[in-house]
Each structure stands twice: as C-alpha cells, then as structure tokens.
C-alpha cells in the first residue's frame, strides 16, 4: 500500500481520531520526532498538547534525535 495518494487529504487525522475513539484509557500519550512537522500537526489537530521534550534513539535513523512528548485527555 502506498501512502503517497493520501498525503494532504486528511487520512492521518481521521485514522488517529478513530483510534482515539476506540481507546477508552486516558490520558493518551504520544511521542514524535521534533523534526517531523506532519506527525506533530496531526497529533495537535487531534487534541494532543506538548508536555515535554527529550532525546530518544531513532531505530530507523540509527542515532539519537530530539523527541516531543504529547498528551491527550
């Protein structure tokens, strides 16, 4: 499956909103790379707020990166 045709059409926020609706546990926590504006935008659009920052190891990059921690109630 290719995500290229879904970029910019609201698929990620819709999918996340549906997942949030299915999960009853609160608060929800998320983490995204600080340089991934798209992921951060989707999380914020779905009600997540930034609660902290740290460094974390990114397996795909093979190095430590800046991470943003978010929480939704």
In a domain? residue 61: yes
Structural domain count of the chain: 1
In a domain? residue 5: no
What DSSP string runs through the chain? --SGGGTTTTHHHHHHHHHHHH---SSEEEEEETT-HHHHHHHHHTT-EEEEEEEEEETTTTEEEEEEEEEE-
In a domain? residue 16: no
In a domain? residue 45: yes
φ, ψ of residue 50 in degrees (nearest 5): -70, 130
Report the Cα 24 to chain-centroid distance in Å. 18
Which residue range forms the structural domain that includes residue 64?
Answer: 25-73
**Alpha-carbon span 31 to 59, nearest angstrom:** 14
In a domain? residue 53: yes
In a domain? residue 4: no
In a domain? residue 36: yes
* pLDDT by 10s per residue, the chain, length 73: 555 666 666 889 999 999 999 999 999 999 999 999 999 999 999 999 999 999 999 999 999 999 999 999 8
């Amino acid at each position: 499956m290719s995500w290229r045709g879904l970029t910019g059409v609201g698929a990620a926020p819709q999918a996340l909103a549906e997942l949030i609706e299915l999960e009853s546990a609160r608060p929800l926590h998320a983490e995204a790379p600080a340089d991934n504006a798209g992921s951060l935008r989707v999380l914020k659009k779905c009600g997540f707020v930034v609660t902290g920052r740290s460094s974390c190891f990114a397996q795909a990059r093979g190095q430590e990166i800046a991470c943003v921690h978010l929480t939704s109630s």
